[in-house]
Amino acid sequence: MCILANQIGTVISTDEGPSVTGFSFVIDEANPVRRGQFVTVESHEGVLIARVSDIVKSNRYYQRAESVREYERSGKKMSDLFPVSRWEFLIGEAKPLAVFSSVLQRPAFPPSPGTPVHVADDKMLASFIGLDAKKGLHMGNLGNHDVDARLNLTKLFQKHLAILSISGGGKSYLTSVLIEELLERKPEDGQIAAVMIDTHGEYMGFAEDEKYRNKTTVVSGRDFKIGVPDLSVHLIEELIPEMTSVQKRELERVIDEMREEFKGKVFGLTEVANKIAADERIKSNTKDVLMANLYKLRNTGFFGVADNPSMDVLAKPGHLTVIDVSDTTSLQKRQMLVAYLGRKLFQARMDGRVPPFVLFVEEAHNFAPEGVSKEGALSRNVIEKIAREGRKFHASLCLISQRPIQLSTTALSQCNTHIILRVTNPYDLDHIGKSSEGLTRDVLDIISSLRVGEALIVGEAVNYPIFVRVRERRSKKSERGVPLEEAAVAYAKGSAQRKSDAAALMDDGEQ
Ligand SMILES: Nc1ncnc2c1ncn2[C@@H]1O[C@H](COP(=O)(O)OP(=O)(O)O)[C@@H](O)[C@H]1O
Ligand SMILES: [Mg+2]
């Protein structure tokens, strides 16, 4: 393998280095270098791989403030008197990451001044980062290198994933790319199921797209139903956390008895309410609370005689199920839906009834909020449960959020890979820095300058944090996800059309 490709500079001696933690190099003007790029230098341990953390311009003529000021005051220009341009240098600063000999090691020695610096070789870089060139999920290409960023499925979803950025940073776009990759996998490479909690109806495009239509099912939040005969005490607990243990016990007993009594025949909340009303063993104050809770549940409109969607529709290998909750406006109802669905899905996975899956949760901070009472966070429990225990069963979460600070720290801390797009808020940046393992200050600094479509990937999926330029999506964008400008233009066109239709109608009327 040719490890040392094109030279881009030479290691120099400075007050601070070269050291094991950093070195500077003077950049060869003909070969531009970019911040974040991987470079290599030979050291006596092997080939040292480093990341360019900064680029600085230097010119000795302008180093002394007092002399620059004197010249400028005298009305003369330094550049007229001295060959200043010949003394301008670009200095790259690099942070060593590892030494590549027969194995990867931590660098124990600095490179020597005078050593040539090269751009890291593409093949070596892919193996160094731990990319999966053959079967990996193709997210885009490595910033500043001609290397496809193909993430290994197991490493990415063995645990959980968080996708974080400001609103408009490109999270949903990137998630669509990720879903395309999951849907396009061949059965022999391992296909998993994708379930999307779609808060804005942004993923409906998959169902309209010729390429993905057959691999996509959309379930509207309005059609979502919780089958009453399947209600267990855990689920009831999840949905009405304020119930006391006596109330839960009584409710479960009644539902158990009804299952026996109805033997396969269906029953709904009304039958349960009637049964409770008639049951003399339940104390009247318990009864009142139970009835009030049942009415509360019934008013959601979520309860029916059977589950919809059923589990076999919900999770299929190589298939996407979009749960469109955009038409369910109440947050509490949305949380109820996620709480129920998450628990059922996880249970079905533990029982081996559904394939390994990824549950994508858009606006995850609304479903697993930090520091909110149980009653205001009905789905937090199940998300945290999958976050803690899902790994053993190949039940993964992909939490998508523009409010990482408001996202359950229990859930976020279990996300072993983070994909971070543009983040500008210093509090969010600080929070991300603390919750993403392996993020050094120099990498964190680049996040706020990321452009839309550029992502930082850090964690289990990669051996070292990488910057990726997200590839173009292949799936159709949902009509509902269009940007403001497009929506305004479409409205204006529609409005012009409506006016001319109205005018035509008037003309017709006059004839
Ligand atoms: N990689 C990309 N390439 C091209 N356009 C992108 C890319 N990522 C995002 N966009 C565009 O930027 C806008 C915001 O992206 P979106 O994914 O909706 O952001 P978020 O979900 O973070 O709010 C959309 O119009 C989208 O099409
Ligand atoms: Mg979005």
| Number of domains the chain is built from | 3
Q: Residue 497: its pLDDT value, please? A: 67
Q: Are residues 29 and 116 in the same domain?
A: yes
What average pLDDT does this structure show over 277-305?
88
Is residue 95 within 8 Å of residue 17, measured between CB atoms? no
Q: Report, as an integer, the average pLDDT of 447-458.
A: 92
Cα distances (Å, whole numbers) of residue 467 to 47, 181, 424, 491: 22, 19, 17, 37
Mean pLDDT of 74-95: 85
Answer whether residue 423 is part of any domain: no
Domain limit, last residue, from 266, 286, 304: 304
pLDDT of residue 487: 72
| pLDDT for res 1 | 39
Greater pLDDT, 342 or 510: 342
At 230 the pLDDT is 76
pLDDT in tens, 187-209: 999 999 999 999 999 999 999 99
How much is the pLDDT for 248?
Answer: 87
Evaluate whether residue 188 is within a structural domain. yes
Let me know whether 380 and 330 are in one domain.
Answer: yes
User: To test the ligand 1 pocket, which listed residue (174, 452, 475) has its Cβ within 8 A of the most ligand atoms?
Assistant: 452
In this prediction, residues 155-160 reach a mean pLDDT of 95
Whether the per-residue pLDDT at 111 is higher than 50: the answer is yes
Mind giving me the DSSP string for 417-458? EEEE-----HHHHHHHHHHSTT--HHHHHHHTTPPTTEEEEE
Q: How far is the CA of 220 from the centre of ligand 1 (A)?
A: 24
Q: Are 61 and 87 in contact (CB under 8 A)?
A: yes
**pLDDT band at residue 481 under the 50/70/90 scheme:** low
- End position of a domain, from candidates 111, 129, 147: 129
* Last residue of one domain, picked from the residues 114, 129, 144: 129
Q: Tell me how far apart the alpha carbons of residues 489 and 35 are, in angstroms, rounded to a whole number.
A: 38
The predicted structure's pLDDT at residue 2: 40
255 and 207 within one domain: no
Domain that holds residue 73: 4-129
Maximum mean pLDDT: which of 27-36, 252-261, 433-442, 474-483: 252-261
Does residue 242 share a domain with residue 366?
no
Label residue 510 by pLDDT band (50, 70, 90).
very low
Ligand approaching nearest to the C-alpha of 165: 1
Say what the pTM is.
0.87
| CA distances (Å), origin 141, targets 126, 347, 366, 469 | 11, 37, 32, 5
* 24 lies in the same domain as 117: yes
Distance between CA atoms of 221 and 243, rounded to whole angstroms?
26
Q: Is 332 contained in some domain?
A: yes
pLDDT score recorded for residue 150: 97
List residues, by chain if needed, whose CB lies under 5 Å from ion ligand 2. Answer: 171-172
The highest-confidence range among 30-34, 264-268, 329-333, 439-443, by mean pLDDT, is: 329-333
| Residue 179 counted as domain residue | yes
User: Is residue 496 over pLDDT 80?
Assistant: no
For residue 245, the CA-to-ligand 1 centroid distance in Å is 47
DSSP letter (8 states) at residue 1: -
| Ligand 1 atom with minimal separation from the 453 CA | 1
In this predicted structure, the answer to whether residue 19 has a pLDDT above a threshold of 80 is yes
* Across 7-16, 57-66, 89-98, 370-379, least confident range: 57-66
Same domain flag for 247 and 363: no
Q: How far is the C-alpha of 345 from the C-alpha of 342, rounded, in Å? A: 5
Q: Enter the tokens of residue 104.
A: 């990867």
Here the tokens at position 64 are 């002394």
Instruction: Give the mean pLDDT of 483-490.
Output: 75
Average pLDDT over residues 457-485: 86
Same domain, 91 and 16: yes
* Ligand 1 atom nearest residue 481's Cα: 18
What pLDDT band is residue 503 in, cutting at 50, 70 and 90?
A: low
Q: What percent of the chain has pLDDT over 70?
A: 95
Judged by average pLDDT, the poorest of 151-160, 246-255, 452-461 is 246-255
Based on the domain organization, do 368 and 394 belong to the same domain? yes
Per-residue pLDDT band for 509 (boundaries 50, 70, 90) equals: very low
- Give CA–CA dist 265/400, Å, rounded: 40
* Residue 9 resides in a domain: yes
Q: Please give the average per-residue pLDDT across 127-135, as a whole number.
A: 93
Distance from Cα 452 to the centre of ligand 1, integer Å: 6
Alpha carbon nearest to ligand 1 atom 27, residue: 173
Find the mean pLDDT for residues 290-294: 88
Q: How close is the Cα of 250 to the center of ligand 2, in Å?
A: 43
Q: What's the rounded mean pLDDT across residues 137-157?
A: 94
Cα 311 to Cα 253: distance, rounded to the nearest angstrom: 25
Are residues 317 and 295 part of one domain?
Answer: no
Average pLDDT over residues 298-325: 88
Question: What is the CATH number for 398?
Answer: 3.40.50.300
Decide if pLDDT at 114 tops 90: yes
Does 218 score more than 80 pLDDT?
A: yes
Q: Which ligand is nearest to the CA of 170?
A: 1
Mean pLDDT of the chain: 89
Residue 48: its pLDDT value, please? 95
State the Cα–Cα distance between residues 11 and 91, nearest whole angstrom.
10
In a domain, 291, yes or no: yes
- Looking at the fold, whether 268 and 319 belong to one and the same domain comes out as no
Answer whether residue 441 is part of any domain: no
Let me know: does 17 contact 23? Beta carbons within 8 Å.
Answer: yes
pLDDT digits (tens, 9 = 90+) for 220-232: 988 888 888 777 7
Q: Which ligand is nearest to the CA of 200?
A: 2
Residue 491's SS3 state is helix
479, part of any domain? no
Q: Tell me the CA–centroid distance for residue 75 and ligand 2, in Å.
A: 56
Neighbours of 57 (CB within 10 A): 10
Structure tokens at 224: 């979502």
Choose the most confident range, by mean pLDDT, from 122-136, 172-186, 231-245, 248-262. Answer: 172-186
Do 69 and 186 fall into the same domain? no
Does the pLDDT of residue 104 top 70, yes or no? yes
Ligand 1: residues within 6 Å at CB? Answer: 165, 167-173, 452-453, 470, 483
Q: Does residue 179 share a domain with residue 246?
A: no
CA distance 268 to 370: 34
Note the pLDDT of residue 435: 84
